[in-house]
């Protein structure tokens, strides 16, 4: 098995066996009389994962170092992934196309991002680096700020020997505005940890985080699109992702015993490569006659009733040439 697929499972196996007992209890008690409640799209708020990791933060005070937060971030990523244990692997053609279509100043589709297929997909990211560090994959899950009532998309990057968290509060129109707010808050808190940020360091941090998040977000958004093309590698008929939130009273002890591999965009990825090869005369170079793939957003529902934002991915098209029908097995690589 590809080592990228087994990394989260190995990391999960390294955690103490009883590490998740508190999380199981809090999730099972969610919404019961006297217990806290939160939106169903959030498995467990980060405050709960802090408690699971044994991190105690007094109101208005901060720990003496960042280590407790790093520990809690690891708990949150692995604990959330434990409920589904799904690894998503993109076809190289679709993966490269999406990574080359980063979010810039377009409005973040908040409503769509709240529709992750599972509580914490792990997306493999072959060849991707952030500030020189190899990023093997990214855990993606949703948090809920219990005090401010704000949803947050958390992307926890799986590095060689560490993790790096990109927390994106879904309260700002664009990605850059979001990152500016995050880095600004980090700069405000930095002196507490004796890590003051200069203006140059702050600007560099914004650029690094914006670049990483802008390239990873299209992979996340594709999983949230209307009917993304993906299938269970074991080809189980009618296989679907696990519910984002376990039924009330059901704990993670019923979670899968081993990772499940989802192959994403196998047919679409081959079509994308065929378009570029055809437009370039077989040379494989991208042609100016190819219309790049893009995300198409639209609303469905009545104007005076409930409306829903939908995102569809429209693949690249070789302008002026008829579209050939793909007769291959859609599960082929």
| Position 63 pLDDT exceeds 90 | no
The share of the chain scoring above pLDDT 90, in percent, equals 27
When mean pLDDT is compared over 99-103, 137-141, 321-325, the highest value belongs to: 137-141
User: Which residues touch 203 (CB under 8 Å, ≥6 apart)?
Assistant: none
Q: Could you give the count of Cα atoms lying within 13 Å of 300 in the half-sphere of its Cβ?
A: 10
What the block records as the tokens of 205 is 């941090």
- Write the pLDDT tens digit of every residue in 156-165: 999 988 888 8
- Return the minimum-mean-pLDDT range out of 16-20, 170-174, 202-206, 293-297: 202-206
- Residue 232: the pLDDT is 84
| Position 201 pLDDT exceeds 60 | no
The share of the chain scoring above pLDDT 70, in percent, equals 71
- Residues comprising the chain, all counted: 333
Rounding to the nearest 10 degrees, give the CA dihedral for residues 43, 49, 53, 59: -170
- Residue 231: the pLDDT is 86
Phi, psi at residue 227, to the nearest 5°?
60, 65
Give start and end residues of each alpha helix (H) in the chain. Answer: 3-13, 21-29, 46-52, 67-82, 92-99, 110-113, 175-189, 199-223, 266-279
- Residue 197: the pLDDT is 45
What average pLDDT does range 138-146 have in this prediction? Answer: 94
- Residue 205: the pLDDT is 64
- Residue 191: the pLDDT is 46
Distance CA 116, CA 262 (A): 14
CA distances for 284 relative to 36, 63, 278, 333, angstroms: 55, 53, 8, 18
- Residue 139: the pLDDT is 97
Helix, coil or strand: residue 68: helix
Which runs of E-coded beta strand occur in 105-256? Answer: 122-124, 129-130, 133-134, 137-145, 150-158, 163-169, 230-232
When mean pLDDT is compared over 153-157, 180-184, 277-281, the highest value belongs to: 153-157
CB distance 144 to 38 below 8 Å: yes
| Position 252 pLDDT exceeds 60 | no
What the block records as the tokens of 269 is 């990825």
User: Which residues touch 276 (CB under 8 Å, ≥6 apart)?
Assistant: 284, 285, 286, 287, 290, 316
- Residue 249: the pLDDT is 44
What average pLDDT does range 150-158 have in this prediction? Answer: 93
Q: Is the pTM of this model over 0.85?
A: no
- Residue 188: the pLDDT is 58
- Write the pLDDT tens digit of every residue in 90-99: 999 999 999 9
Let me know if 278 is exposed, middle or buried by CB neighbors in 10 A (0-12, 13-18, 19+). middle
Burial 184-215 (b: 16+ CB within 10 A, else e): eeebeeeeeeeeebeeeebeebbeebbebbbb
- Write the pLDDT tens digit of every residue in 209-231: 888 888 999 999 999 988 899 98
What average pLDDT does range 109-138 have in this prediction? Answer: 92
Tokens 């679709």 label which residue? 94
CB distance 4 to 137 below 8 Å: yes
* Average confidence score pLDDT of the chain: 78
Distance CA 189, CA 173 (A): 24
What the block records as the tokens of 183 is 């880095």
Domain boundaries, the chain: 3-263
- Residue 199: the pLDDT is 47
- Write the pLDDT tens digit of every residue in 270-314: 998 888 887 776 554 554 566 777 777 767 766 776 777 777 887
| Position 196 pLDDT exceeds 50 | no
- Residue 200: the pLDDT is 53
What are the beta bridge partners of residue 145? 150
| 317-318 and 290-291 strand pairing | antiparallel
């Amino acid at each position: 098995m590809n080592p990228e697929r087994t990394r989260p499972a190995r990391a999960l196996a390294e955690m103490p066996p009883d590490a998740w007992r508190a999380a199981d209890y809090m999730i099972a008690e969610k919404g019961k009389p006297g217990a806290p409640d939160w939106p169903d799209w959030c498995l467990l708020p980060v405050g709960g994962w802090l408690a699971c990791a044994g991190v105690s933060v007094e109101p208005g005070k901060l720990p003496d170092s960042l280590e407790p937060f790093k520990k809690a971030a690891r708990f949150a990523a692995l604990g959330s992934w434990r409920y589904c244990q799904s690894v998503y692997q993109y076809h190289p053609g679709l993966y490269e196309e999406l990574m080359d279509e980063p979010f810039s100043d377009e409005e973040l589709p908040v409503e769509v991002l709240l529709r992750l297929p599972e509580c914490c997909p792990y997306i493999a990211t072959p060849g991707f680096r952030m500030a020189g560090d190899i990023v093997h994959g990214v855990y993606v899950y949703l948090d809920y700020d219990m005090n401010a009532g704000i949803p947050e998309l958390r992307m926890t990057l799986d590095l060689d020997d560490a993790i790096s968290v990109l927390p994106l509060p879904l309260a700002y129109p664009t990605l850059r505005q979001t990152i500016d707010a995050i880095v600004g808050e980090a700069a405000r808190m930095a002196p507490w940890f004796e890590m003051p940020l200069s203006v140059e360091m702050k600007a560099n941090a914004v650029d690094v985080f914006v670049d990483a998040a802008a390239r990873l977000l299209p992979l996340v958004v594709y999983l949230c699109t209307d009917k993304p093309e993906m299938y269970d590698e074991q080809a189980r008929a009618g296989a679907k992702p696990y519910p984002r939130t376990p039924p009330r009273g059901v704990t993670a002890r019923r979670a899968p015993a081993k990772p499940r591999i989802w192959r994403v965009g196998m047919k679409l990825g081959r079509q994308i490569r065929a378009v570029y090869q055809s437009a370039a005369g077989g040379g494989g170079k991208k042609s100016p006659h190819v219309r790049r793939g893009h995300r198409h957003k639209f609303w469905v529902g009545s104007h005076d009733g409930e409306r829903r934002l939908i995102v569809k991915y429209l693949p690249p098209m070789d302008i002026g040439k008829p579209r050939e029908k793909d007769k291959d097995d859609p599960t082929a690589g």
